[in-house]
A = this chain, B = another copy of it.
Amino acid sequence: MSNGRVFVDITTSLDGFIAGPNDGPELGLGEGGERLHQWVYDLASWRAPHGLAGGKTDRDSEILDEAFRRTGAVVLGKRMYDNAGGWGDNPPFHVPVFVLTHEARDAEAKEGGTTFTFVTDGIESALQQARAAAGEKDVSIAGGANTIQQFLKAGLIDEMQIHIAPLLLGGGIRLFGDLGTGQIELKATGVIESPEVTHLRFRVAK
């Protein structure tokens, strides 16, 4: 099973956007951005960590649940944290979360097992702390795009699961941007099709 791997699990439009234009604290995922995640909101495995009962238990739900269960710790960027308003009193992570930021700030312990630790000394430090917190589980690099790109450029991502929502957003925040790294080889490790979304799995060649 999983064992300290570092992974990205994220939904994009076919044109590669993870948020629409004008994302931020007011618009959240930007214009059209919520549409990207339409496939998750009815799933039991999305509803449970958000404190909601019921929901569908189909293959999409299993895939989301697998990602949730393998996650022992999360790394994300401060912009994502701010855009989500800190996810309220009971955030959906339920594991230690390490937030990349430039300003030192006290850690926060929320309900339901989520802790936020603010890391000011870079991605390698955040990953080291996340690995320690995750134990035998995996570390999720949750976003935003800039954070994921930093980890990719540093060669620190082992696996990616990209959920392609069937739409073009036409603008917004790109998952990959222009990495400027030259070619990075991947290995396609699985494709799962559902009416709502196409799940693509890749390993990053090392």
Residues of A in contact with B (beta carbons under 8 Å apart): 14-16, 20, 31-32, 35, 152, 162, 164, 166-171, 174-176, 178-188, 190-191, 193, 195, 197-198, 200, 202
Copies of this chain, count: 2
Known: A162-B14, A176-B16. A193 touches B188 (CB 8 A): yes
For A202, the closest partner residue in chain B by CB is B166
Q: Give CA–CA (A186, B170) in the complex, Å.
A: 13
Say which residue of B169, B182, B195, B202 sits within 8 Å of A183 (CB atoms).
B169
Q: Give CA–CA (A184, B191) in the complex, Å.
A: 23
Q: Do B168 and A181 touch (CB < 8 A)?
A: yes
CB distance from A102 to the nearest CB of B (A): 26
Q: Which residues of B contact A171 (CB under 8 A)?
A: 178-180
A-B CB proximity, top 4 nearest: A15-B176, A170-B179, A166-B186, A168-B184
Q: Do A170 and B181 touch (CB < 8 A)?
A: yes
Q: Give CA–CA (A198, B189) in the complex, Å.
A: 10
Q: Do B193 and A167 touch (CB < 8 A)?
A: no
Say which residue of B31, B167, B183 sits within 8 Å of A32 (CB atoms).
B183
Q: Which residues of B contact A188 (CB under 8 A)?
A: 164, 166, 193, 195, 197-198
CB distance from A31 to the nearest CB of B (A): 7
26 contacts between A and B (CB under 8 A): A14-B202, A15-B175, A16-B174, A20-B183, A31-B183, A32-B182, A32-B183, A152-B168, A164-B188, A164-B200, A166-B186, A166-B187, A166-B202, A167-B183, A168-B183, A168-B186, A170-B179, A170-B180, A170-B181, A170-B184, A171-B178, A171-B179, A171-B180, A190-B193, A191-B191, A191-B198
